[in-house]
Structure 1
């Protein structure tokens, strides 16, 4: 005999699974850890200091 399932609960479970997989994909595409953000900012600041220090002054 077949197992009886609640269609509403099954539909909601399917939606939750789809949302979780979409969230996981978004995290991998757009997510950046705190350390990665800090490292990117530090690299940009260091590059700006190097460029500003190498500029020639024209009076």
Structure 2
């Protein structure tokens, strides 16, 4: 998973208590580099797509 992937819970309960490896149907994801739902490559952010092989991916 990319270290730039974020959800609201990341800030509410803290990074160590959020599992971003699995997608949540209620979570809204965004990229901390762009601060929107699209990454720098203009593709949507989610745990499924923010993976190695994506041009903007940054490992944790």
User: Which structure has the greater CA radius of gyration?
Assistant: 1
Shorter-chain TM-score tier? under 0.3
More helix by share: 1
More strand by share: 2
Higher relative contact order (CA 8 A, sep 6+): 2
* TM-score (ref. length: structure 1): 0.17
* TM-score (ref. length: structure 2): 0.17
